[in-house]
Amino acid sequence: MDIREQHSFLALLVESFRLINRSFSVLLVFAGCAVVGYALLTALLLIKVHPLLVSLLQMLFSSFLGVVLIRLFAARAEGDNISLSDTAAGSILPTVYTIIFGLMCGAVGLACAVIAQLLGKTVTAILAIPAVLALIFVMIRLVFTHIIIAAREQNPIAALLHSWQLTSGRFFYTLGILLISGILPTLFLHAVGYGLYVAIPLYFPNSFSLVHPSVLWICVGIVILLCWIGLWLSMMAYLVLVFLNLDYQDNRSGGLADQAAINMPQPQMVQAPTSVIMQSDSEAPQTETAQPQIQQPQEVQIVRASVKTHSSDESIEQHLEQVYQPTSQDTVEYAEEDRMPTILFDDDMARQMEENRRKWEEEKAKSRQRNHHDDDGNTSTIKMSK
């Protein structure tokens, strides 16, 4: 599933179970690290470390584990197979933000308790129902704050604003997501508990004992516990998937996507250069203008100016004068993309052409003299016959 595309909440629910299945090996390593960490914290109590300090360390470690788990689910959902060590290394700053957010929530709760104490029992009882409804509304609107802090590494204030904006117009959708993620684990426990409550007296009255459980029932209990943990992890992954899907939808419908489209440079129409082809005196100059074309982002560099001529034997001098003294109508600037044939004149070429012209005139004069002598000789040797 491409989490960047829009999906229904049922499709995301099914994907959460698939995500747990894909992350099974990483989750096993994560669970082993968590067990080792809590074992070390318990060992601190055995060596007579102050309980308050151990409680603070447990709070820090629990917050760190929660951030690592959310970041792990977000990375897998987005197709990034980041390792557990890299995920843990990037979870330090979000853990600090998470603790600050927890302290802010504690301060707000303490302030509400002080206000309720100051108002008295009567006023508090009157305002209890509106206050509870307002609290539920605010909690639903801010439900993605912890996920935003962990997955997007935003500070608590920015995460609160982001969650409030993300759930705008989606109150009942978010409420349904919370009900699904909260009810499914509870329904599982109630279903399993009721099934065991009915099945054990009927089918296993002699083999089941809470005081001395057998190995079989210990294995059954472990399987049930693992299934409940897996379902709980699936619901956490479900909330992460819902957040990512909503977040990508908002980025597509506005904000970053629209801003990128506005800042994108628009193509401009430019007039193609005009090439002038000089012909003989008897023909008028022909002007060829290319069709307008879209200007490319790269810079067009003007490299040179040229005059294009087609010379004949009778008009060499006139074209040479145009070369030496070109007018503004005969000069064309063109870019590297111009593929029209051009002739570039310089001083050496002009001198060479002048020398060729003199040689041609001399050859022409000699040819005329030879023709003249041949005509004279032929007339002198002609004999008239009677």
Note the pLDDT tens digit of each residue in 256-310.
334 334 344 444 544 444 444 444 444 444 444 445 455 554 444 444 444 444 4
Residue 78: band (very low, low, confident or very high) from pLDDT cuts 50, 70, 90 = confident
Q: How far apart, in whole angstroms, are the C-alpha atoms of residue 193 and residue 198?
A: 9
Q: How far apart, in whole angstroms, are the C-alpha atoms of residue 313 and residue 170?
A: 86
Q: What is the pLDDT of residue 161?
A: 93
Sign of the CA dihedral 77, 81, 82, 83? positive
**Distances from the Cα of 271 to the Cα of 267, 292, 334, angstroms:** 13, 5, 12
304-352: pLDDT as tens digits: 444 444 444 556 666 556 555 555 555 555 444 444 444 555 677 778 8
Strand partners, 287: 276
Return mean pLDDT, the chain. Answer: 76
Q: The pTM is what?
A: 0.62
What's the distance, CA 364 to chain centroid?
A: 77
278 phi and psi, to 5 degrees? -85, 130
Q: What is the dihedral of CA 246, 251, 252, 257, to 10 degrees?
A: 180
β-bridge pairing 274-278 and 286-289: antiparallel
Sign of the CA dihedral 132, 136, 138, 144? positive
Is residue 60 over pLDDT 70? yes
Nearest to 183 by CA among 232, 137, 138: 232
Is residue 77 over pLDDT 70? yes
Give the burial class of 91: count Cβ atoms within 10 A of its Cβ; 0-12 exposed, 13-18 middle, 19 or more buried.
Answer: buried
Residue 250: partners with Cβ closer than 8 Å, 6 or more residues away: 165, 166
DSSP 240-305: HHHHHHHHHHHHHHSTHHHHHHHHSPPP-EEPPPEEEEE--TTS--EEEEPPPEEPPSSPP-EEEE
CB 291 within 8 A of CB 277: no
Place of tokens 């005139």: 361
Structure letter (DSSP) for residue 47: T
Which three-class secondary structure state does DSSP give residue 335?
Answer: strand
Strand partners, 277: 286, 308
